[in-house]
Amino acid sequence: MRGNPVIPYAIIAVLGILTVLVVSIIGVGQREDIAEDGNGEEQEEAQEETGDEAEEGATEEDPSEVYTNNCMNCHGEDLSGGSGPELAEVGDRLSEDEIEEIIIEGTDAGMPGGLVDDEQAAAIATWLAEQ
């Protein structure tokens, strides 16, 4: 007499699902730690290269780096647009102050405001106006 052949497959499936859940939970818990470690190491290396010791809370960043981290997903790596409008010649259409206001306040067309602080917004606006 032979047992039900479905039971071993069901046990294997349940064990597989549980394994995936456990690994996912562990990964989510470590994601913040990995992000903190990665950012901290990069900042320390940048400070060592320039010899500068930045004050805590200072946001001295390259505008193109801030763009890459906050804007590129919608506006494209080369400012050609994507889900957001192209910005390659935005300085021809808008003043630096108008660009900064849009970055800070957002638009009704779908751009969220407040993605960067005011200092970063000013730096990005200047950088975009020159592109």
| Average pLDDT for 48-75 | 68
pLDDT (0 to 100) of residue 49: 54
Residue 99 belongs to domain with CATH number: 1.10.760.10
Q: What is the DSSP letter of 45?
A: H
Range of the domain at 35: 1-58
The band of 72, judged by pLDDT with boundaries at 50, 70 and 90, is confident
**pLDDT, tens digit (0-9, with 9 covering 90-100), for 5-61:** 788 899 999 999 999 999 888 887 777 677 666 655 554 555 555 444 444 334 457
Residue after which a domain boundary falls, among 24, 43, 58: 58
Domain total in the chain: 2
Which residue is associated with the tokens 């349940």? 14
Query: Contact 99/71 with Cβ under 8 angstroms?
Result: no
CB 88 within 8 A of CB 131: yes
Q: How many CA atoms lie within 13 A of 15 on its CB side?
A: 6
Mean pLDDT computed over 55-73: 73
At position 33, the amino acid (one-letter code) is D
pLDDT at residue 38, as a whole number: 60
pLDDT at 68 over 70: yes
Name residue, tokens 């505008």.
Answer: 63
Q: Is residue 52 located within the same domain as residue 14?
A: yes
Same domain? 69 vs 112: yes
**Do 84 and 121 lie in a common domain?**
yes
Residue 44 pLDDT: 54
In this structure, the answer to whether residues 97 and 44 fall within a common structural domain is: no
pTM: 0.52
Among 58, 73, 89, where does a domain finish? 58
Residues 67 and 126 in one domain: yes
